[in-house]
Structure 1
Amino acid sequence: MTGSCDPDRHDAISYTPYPQNIPVARRRVAQLAVDWGQSGVAADAALLTSELCINALLYGCLHDRLFRVETSLTAKAFRIAVTDPKGERLPEPRTADDGDQFGRGLLIVRTLSSRWAVEKLTVGKTVWAELDIPGAPNA
């Protein structure tokens, strides 16, 4: 974890690359935030999860290859990381025109998160976003 200690809490689950799994992942991450005592970040964590999962499905998934959502909590940050199998296509924020249906996801991620980045893997990539924990020292 960039700039964070070892996670106090961690959860990981893999999903089949189907759109119906996006709300499943979103609800799970929001519930984890609540269960881990961080209800103040649950709504933003849910939205970040949706955006990261949508990007994985649209640009990073291959037929019959799973994508993975990892959630972790340290004293300073709540982190959502989505890993997909397609590492040659890295996400880049772009400007969407008013009539465009797509193109705003990473702008939302950049706006809501305290930090975000892309990590290239041997196979695939991980896109992660962190939310600072309100009241945490040096968050």
Structure 2
Amino acid sequence: MIQSTELPYQRDQFYRRDRRSVPAARRLAEWALRFWGLAEWTRAEDVALCTSELATNALLHGVPPGRGFLLRVRYDGAVVRVEVHDSGDGVPRIPEGPPDAAEGGRGLLLVSALSDKWGVGERNPGKVVWAEFAR
């Protein structure tokens, strides 16, 4: 892999619709942070956890059978941004009321609590769910 020495840094990886894709996506985010010299950053674990949550949500709600998702991790010197691109319908939102322990519902709550901002962007087909972490 060739890595640019100029900002912004970016790493993209496509993952299949497979439960093993979630830990693989988290490992990629952790690797990118290490590669960019951010492994000791106090928010590195937050980035890794949010990557897992966004990838999990994509697999559960946004990736139709036969498709996958794209993970993009980007660093511009001030902000780390994690994006998960999928081809599913719907707009992710934080559920109202307490999360159901059996069914989940905590993923976007965690992303909202740990990131500085998060949101959903349009993509054809599908959407991009992202989270940003200021350095």
- Please tell me the TM-score bracket, short chain as reference: 0.7 to 0.9
Deviation, structure 1 residue 63: 1.0
TM-score after normalising by structure 2: 0.88
Alignment partners' CA distance in 1, 2:18 and 2:24: 11
Q: Does the 8 A contact of 2:85 with 2:129 survive in 1?
A: yes
Alignment partners' CA distance in 2, 1:130 and 1:119: 13
Deviation, structure 1 residue 98: 5.5
TM-score after normalising by structure 1: 0.85
Q: Measured at CA, do residues 54 and 9 of structure 1 come closer, stay the same or move farther in structure 2, by a change above 3 Å? A: same
Partner of 1:34: 34
Partner of 2:13: 13
Which residue type is aligned with residue 14 of structure 1? F
1:57 maps onto 2:59 in alignment: yes
Alignment partners' CA distance in 1, 2:38 and 2:46: 11
User: What is the percent sequence identity of the aligned residues?
Assistant: 34
SS, match of residue 122 in structure 1? coil
1:81 maps onto 2:83 in alignment: yes
Deviation, structure 1 residue 97: 4.0
Deviation, structure 1 residue 92: 0.6
Alignment partners' CA distance in 2, 1:45 and 1:56: 16
Alignment partners' CA distance in 2, 1:98 and 1:62: 24
SS, match of residue 91 in structure 1? coil
Q: Does the 8 A contact of 2:99 with 2:106 survive in 1?
A: no
5+ residue gaps, structure 2, are 1-6
SS, match of residue 74 in structure 2? strand
Partner of 1:110: 112
Structure 1: 4+ residue segments shifted above 6 A: none
Partner of 2:134: 132
